């Protein structure tokens, strides 16, 4: 059995482009070029049947190392806690007050982009500090 080399993370959402552009800002990702024959994604989207316009959007790591992120429109809203979430690793290797200050600075940046800070978990005997967040559509993620 061969190992998986690449994977994509898929989000169900109401507004795929809005959520994708938020995650581009969070992760330093970029929107891939539009399909051949189209100057912009808006032009491509306008070529689709009305029911398919705005149905999906994607972003990718410009280095090609991280997973592609895919956002698809679904009719139902979010009703429960995510079973899987992203941990955005901004404090790796840091401890104590230095770690907490780094996490708080990233939290402030993401709140300015539309995220919501839901809980700051302070370090204890077993774990370092982390911050629970929600993206622009309420999907949970952590900065740690």
Query: For residue range 94-106, what is the model confidence (pLDDT) as tens digits?
Result: 999 999 999 999 9
**d(Cα 67, Cα 89) in Å, to the nearest integer?**
15
pLDDT in tens, 7-24: 899 999 999 999 999 999
Verify that 63 and 102 share a domain, yes or no.
Answer: no
Is the pLDDT score of 56 beyond 70? yes
Verify that 14 and 64 share a domain, yes or no.
Answer: yes
The pLDDT value recorded for residue 79 is 85
Verify that 50 and 92 share a domain, yes or no.
Answer: no
Look at residue 127 and tell me if it is in a domain.
yes
The pLDDT value recorded for residue 34 is 95
**d(Cα 78, Cα 53) in Å, to the nearest integer?**
21
Query: Mean pLDDT over residues 99-128, rounded?
Result: 95
Look at residue 27 and tell me if it is in a domain.
yes
Is the pLDDT score of 39 beyond 90? yes
**d(Cα 25, Cα 20) in Å, to the nearest integer?**
9
Verify that 19 and 59 share a domain, yes or no.
Answer: yes
Verify that 99 and 61 share a domain, yes or no.
Answer: no
Verify that 95 and 69 share a domain, yes or no.
Answer: no
Verify that 103 and 137 share a domain, yes or no.
Answer: yes
Look at residue 93 and tell me if it is in a domain.
yes
Look at residue 137 and tell me if it is in a domain.
yes
Verify that 48 and 97 share a domain, yes or no.
Answer: no
Range of the domain at 38: 8-73
Query: Mean pLDDT over residues 44-50, rounded?
Result: 96
The pLDDT value recorded for residue 43 is 96
Please state the pTM of the whole predicted model: 0.90
The pLDDT value recorded for residue 4 is 67
Q: Where are the alpha helices (DSSP H) in the chain?
A: 16-27, 41-46, 96-112
Please, what is the average pLDDT of the chain? 94
Q: How many domains would you assign to the chain?
A: 2
The pLDDT value recorded for residue 80 is 86
Verify that 46 and 13 share a domain, yes or no.
Answer: yes
Verify that 64 and 96 share a domain, yes or no.
Answer: no
Verify that 12 and 65 share a domain, yes or no.
Answer: yes
What is the C-alpha end-to-end distance of the chain, expressed in Å? 33
């Amino acid at each position: 059995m061969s190992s998986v080399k690449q994977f994509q993370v898929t989000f169900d959402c109401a507004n795929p482009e809005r959520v994708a552009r938020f995650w581009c800002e969070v992760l330093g990702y970029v929107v891939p070029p539009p399909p051949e024959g189209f100057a912009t994604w808006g032009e491509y989207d306008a070529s689709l049947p009305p029911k398919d316009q705005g149905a999906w959007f994607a972003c990718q790591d410009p280095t090609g190392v991280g997973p592609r992120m895919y956002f698809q429109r679904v009719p139902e809203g979010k009703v429960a806690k995510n079973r899987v979430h992203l941990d955005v690793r901004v404090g790796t290797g840091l401890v104590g007050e230095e770690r907490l200050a780094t996490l708080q600075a990233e939290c402030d940046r993401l709140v300015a982009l539309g995220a919501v800070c839901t809980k700051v978990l302070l370090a204890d005997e077993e774990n370092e500090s982390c911050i629970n967040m929600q993206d622009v559509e309420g999907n949970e993620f952590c900065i740690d």
